[in-house]
């Protein structure tokens, strides 16, 4: 039996599904959190990582369950781009998600080029170190650095390929989140999603840097509320 609603969380560059595992505890009873692992990441590390959003969406579509189940799509940083592309694919198939939530990334037409980082391993790892989410002892270990580089380089090629591309209008409710001290994708950039939203739900600027969703429980609770609304349990929280 399908759950009453499903929250689908897509990862940031170099990230794995494990980043979202604990968020399931915030969901209403019966609702499901799905955090798909991308090829070349986490438990799929032996696979070849993909550097095309279209190829990743093709991988994701058969893995998100029955698309007739109300879906809330969430993506952080690179995951926001993947969630947007997955939303487009679902809309084209006639099974739009209930809502799209993008976090810490602007739309494709305002993205800066990241492809150059993919070709410079030291610069890429230094960039990741500045963001503060990767433990310093991991970055200091040559074997761990090598394991990180392979998926990271593919992810940054993906972001580079998406730079300055036109963004189509999103027809489902679109929510945007940004960190007030994000040095990479500030709130003014994330706010640009409004230009591509037929049903703009607003930008929430929350305390923290680029990885603000993991600062406290604000974001997982917000997503739990949207998932509950998608399940039809809280009509005041939003409608299709």
Question: For residue 127, what are its two tokens?
Answer: 């960039």
Q: What are phi and psi of 7, to 5 degrees?
A: -100, 120
- Contacts by 44-47 with C-beta closer than 8 Å and gap 24+? 45/147, 45/151
Residue pair 123/85 in contact (Cβ under 8 Å)? The answer is: no
Q: Is 77 a catalytic residue?
A: yes
Strands 71-76 and 32-34: unpaired
Closest of 28, 25, 41 to residue 158, by C-alpha: 41
Q: Is 127 a catalytic residue?
A: no
Closest of 53, 35, 176 to residue 103, by C-alpha: 176
Q: Residues 77, 103, 185, 196: which is the catalytic one?
A: 77
- How far is Cα 178 from Cα 176, in angstroms, rounded to an integer? 7
Residues annotated catalytic, as ranges: 77, 210
């Amino acid at each position: 039996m399908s759950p009453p609603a499903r929250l689908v969380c897509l990862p940031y560059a170099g990230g794995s599904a494990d980043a979202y595992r604990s968020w399931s505890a915030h969901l209403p009873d019966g609702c499901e959190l799905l955090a798909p692992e991308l090829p070349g990441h986490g438990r799929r590390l032996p696979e070849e990582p993909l550097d095309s959003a279209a190829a990743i969406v093709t991988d994701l579509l058969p893995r998100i369950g029955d698309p007739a189940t109300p879906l809330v799509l969430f993506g952080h940083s690179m995951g926001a781009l993947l969630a947007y592309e997955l939303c487009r694919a679902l809309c084209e198939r006639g099974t739009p998600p209930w809502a799209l939530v993008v976090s810490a990334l602007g739309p494709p037409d305002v993205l800066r080029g990241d492809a150059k980082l993919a070709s410079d391993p030291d610069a890429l790892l230094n960039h990741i170190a500045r963001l503060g989410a990767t433990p310093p002892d991991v970055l200091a270990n040559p074997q761990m650095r090598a394991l990180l580089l392979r998926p990271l380089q593919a992810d940054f090629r993906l972001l580079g390929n998406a730079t300055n591309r036109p963004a189509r209008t999103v027809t489902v409710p679109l929510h945007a989140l940004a960190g007030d001290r994000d040095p990479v994708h500030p709130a003014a950039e994330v706010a640009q999603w409004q230009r591509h939203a037929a049903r703009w739900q607003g930008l929430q600027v929350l305390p923290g840097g680029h990885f603000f969703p993991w600062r406290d429980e604000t974001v997982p609770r917000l997503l739990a509320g949207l998932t509950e609304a998608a399940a039809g349990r809280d009509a005041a929280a939003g409608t299709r």
